[in-house]
Amino acid sequence: MLKQEIEKFYRRKDVLQITGFSRSLLYSEMDEGRFPRPVRIAARAVAWRGSDIASWQAQRSNDAA
């Protein structure tokens, strides 16, 4: 039986804490294409996929090495 993982979503407050970014830097990085964009989770709410943030972190680790 295949076990399917449930995707975790992070709201802006959590993303800022994970990345250490300020709000303005977060949006600047998204505008420059250096950070993933959020997805709409409700009519007036967005969140970032945990897998997108993990990929971004891995890419930064590879770039630093």
Alpha-carbon gap, residue 62 to 22, rounded angstroms: 23
Banded pLDDT at 3 (limits 50, 70, 90): confident
Mean pLDDT of the chain: 94
* pLDDT exceeds 90 at position 16: yes
Average pLDDT of the segment spanning 25-45: 97
**Whole-number Å distance between alpha carbons of 62 and 3:** 29
- Spatial CB neighbours of 10, under 8 Å, sequence gap ≥ 6: 18, 47, 48, 50, 53
